[in-house]
Amino acid sequence: MKSADAVSGEILNLAVAASLALISFLITATYPAKVLSKFLGVDVPFLGIAVLGGFIFIFWISIAYRILGKNFGIITALLIASFSLLVTPWFGITDPPWFGVYGLISFFLMGLLTERINGGFGNFACLIVNWLALGYHYNVYPPLHLAISFAVVSFISGFVGDKLAYIVSNKIRSINVIG
């Protein structure tokens, strides 16, 4: 049986994970994805994940994992997807009505791979799952040359976001803010 201190510590960790997920969700909800597409001059599905996923998602997932411990990156990733699904269908797709399951799967993989390998693989996997789901249901795929380019960009974005989280979490620990 867990002590009251252990339980209250877990509740605090879940609250911090939820807060990090909420920050990530709010960034996602407020950045203008269409502006990014217009700026880059490309129309690629899930472009925001590919280009900015490392900073919008991986950074917060990695911070949670590095500060709160094992599995909190996965929890944070699932909370990000859950907050998104509470507000709107997954990227506005309503047919099939369960399309949001792909969002949960992709973010689960994002959290898992970020914790186990690094954020580059996490962001890449998330992007690929969403592309495959969109392709399977709607036969919408990015052109091959753009798919390859943005798959590489997604890996780099995730890798950089993960490394930035590593640096920030070490700074936080060095000033004894947390743990």
Task: Please report which residue ranges of 31-138 form alpha helices under DSSP H.
Answer: 33-40, 47-53, 59-68, 72-87, 100-116, 119-138
- For residue 167, the one-letter residue type is I
Q: What is the DSSP letter of 97?
A: T
| Tokens encoding 35 | 């502006």
CA 126 – CA 108 distance, rounded (Å):
8
Mean of the per-residue pLDDT values of the chain: 92
- For residue 153, the one-letter residue type is V
Domain ranges of the chain: 4-174
Say what the pLDDT of residue 178 is.
56
Instruction: Grade residue 3 by pLDDT with cuts at 50, 70 and 90.
Output: low
pLDDT tens digits along 51-104 = 999 999 999 999 999 999 999 999 999 999 999 999 999 988 889 999 999 999
CA 72 – CA 14 distance, rounded (Å):
8
pLDDT tens digits along 108-165 = 999 999 999 999 999 999 999 999 999 999 999 999 999 999 999 999 999 999 999 9
Neighbour-count burial of 149, counting CB atoms closer than 10 A to its CB (0-12 exposed, 13-18 middle, 19+ buried): middle
Check pLDDT > 60 for residue 177.
no
Say what the pLDDT of residue 33 is.
73
